[in-house]
Structure 1
Amino acid sequence: MEILFFAVVAALILGRLYQVLGQNRGAEPPPMRQPPPFGLSKSATQSVDESSIGDEEAKVTDFPVRDYDGPTEAGLKAIQSAVRGFDVSSFLAGARNAYEIIVTAYGSGDEETLRDLLSQEVFSAYQVAMDERRAANAPKIEVIRLGDSKILDAELDGKIARIDVAFSSDLADGGDGLRAADEIWTFEKSVDARDPNWLLSAVRTA
């Protein structure tokens, strides 16, 4: 995990952004929307305005960590013990929502949307990449299809909860056809943070 975390250096991120996000084809992206707080069980999000919760998240059924066995079970249990109300299914639904928002915001150069969704290191790298896209008059990006997502790794590193999620999608950027994007995104948050959202802290090819 340490290798993955430090892989968020600008060179790696910029390379992946330009090769994967920057080269996909499609139509005009939908208006920006803020993601709901994610990673929390329904009982822990009752105070959140229900109108802000996406349809996908509302349809997800909560299930305990014991139902998500395998190599990630220990890490998820540790996170659940440290993050009040943490729920695996709600986290995945929120992560999928965040994926679409982040890709679309990056593709349209929407820095304000990205600012609250990315770690400082990733945000700085995205700013540089978006400047390059604007200079090249690159088209906007849209997520045409988001396939299954899967948690690959999870850990509680001191006060930092960190979860790797694999995404497979088809992206479009105004040209002909689609481009497949298979990536692993690392989300993290401080267990003491009042903000319920997780931040994107690293991206690498799946």
Structure 2
Amino acid sequence: MDDGLNLLNIILLAIAVGVFLKLRSVLGRRTGHERPPYDPYSENPAPGNDKVVTLPKRGRTDAPASGARDRVIDAAGDPFANAGARFRWRGVTEEGSPLAGALDAIADADRTFDTESFLSGARMAYEMIVTAFAAGDRATLKPLLSDDVYASFEGAISAREKAGLQIDQSFIGIDKAAITGGSLDGTRARLTVSFRSELTSSTKNSDGVVVEGDPVTVREITDVWTFERDLRNRDPNWKLVATGAAA
């Protein structure tokens, strides 16, 4: 029994050695100088192979160089026309309008100017001025108004105080604010804004009796205000220089 197993083991070992020698003769031995596997995404072609075509790196696209995709030939045949150039006052006014020209002039004179920031500041100024006027808050009004407008507001406040009247007002909010006009005279920029707001307002006498308005009813008011700023001045704030109601 043991002799049979030993003979079988010898036969299997001989077969394994024969297979190994056969494979070695076919595949050869590694010498350390074999050509590495070819990577089709490699930036450099394999040496000694002139027919290898270098493919683009993975993850890259065939997009043109920066800025090239924005350059097209326009109707006049200008190869440098910028297709990405858009009318910068879109949503504020129409292209070619007098307001667009005024905004261009202001922006050229003050490179930090943009309508979004201006309207944000104008909204805050409107609420502060309306609220301060109702409360008779001269200290808040003074830096926000031109001298002429402040004199007018201060005169109305003084007359109200002498008559023993008091305004009871609740400012609800601004529904809409839009730039409706503009100009640049030298370095003085002017922009007119139409505000549509909601508030409750009533005037009471010294006894607390309502003599005008309604403290409960919400009123919709449209004001047209003009702001001015000297662009040479480092102060970025605009001042109210004119007030009016919508036509």
Show the counterpart of 1:178: 218
Deviations 1:116-166 (A, max 9, x none): 000000000000111122233222433212111110001101121000000
Distance 1:153 1:177, change over 3 A: same
Q: Are 2:229 and 1:201 aligned?
A: no
Q: Aligned equivalents of 2:131 and 2:242: distance in 1?
A: 17
Structure 1 residue 105 displacement after superposition:
0.6
Post-superposition CA distance 1:33-71 (Å, at most 9, x none): xxxxxxxxxxxxxxxxxxxxxxxxxxxxxx984434423
Structure 1: how far apart are the matches of 2:183 and 2:227? 11
Larger helix fraction of residues: 1
Aligned: 1:187 with 2:215: no
1:125-204 matches, cutoff 5 A:
125-135=152-162, 136-173=164-201, 175-204=215-244
1:77 matched residue in structure 2: 104
Is the Cα–Cα contact under 8 Å of residues 169 and 181 in structure 1 kept in the other structure?
A: yes
Identify the structure with bigger relative contact order (alpha carbons < 8 Å, sequence gap 6+): 1
How do residues 6-155 of structure 1 correspond to structure 2 at under 5 angstroms? Answer: 65-67=88-90, 68-70=92-94, 71=97, 72-135=99-162, 136-155=164-183
Inter-partner Cα distance in structure 2 for 1:64 and 1:196: 25
Greater strand fraction, Structure 1 or Structure 2: 2
User: Match of 1:171, SS?
Assistant: strand
**d(CA) in 1 for partners of 2:150 and 2:113?**
25
Larger Rg: 2
**SS where residue 149 of structure 1 aligns?**
strand
**Stretches of structure 1 lacking an aligned partner (at least 5 in a row):** 1-62
Query: What amino acid is aligned across from residue 147 of structure 1 in structure 2?
Result: D
- CA distance in 2 between counterparts of 1:106 and 1:159 reads 29
Question: Match of 2:242, as an amino acid?
Answer: A
Runs (4+) off by over 4 Å: none
Q: Following the alignment from structure 1 to structure 2, what is the Cα–Cα distance between the partners of residues 141 and 74?
A: 39
Deviations 1:54-111 (A, max 9, x none): xxxxxxxxx9844344231111111111123001101011100110001001110110
Using the alignment, how far apart are the partners of 1:158 and 1:89 within structure 2? 23
TM-score normalised by structure 2 residue count: 0.55
What do you get for the CA RMSD once the two structures are aligned?
1.8
Identity level (%): 38
The whole-number CA distance in structure 2 between the counterparts of 1:195 and 1:104 is: 23
| TM-score w.r.t. length of structure 1 | 0.65
Distance between the aligned counterparts of 1:94 and 1:64, measured in 2?
23
Offset at 1:168? 0.7
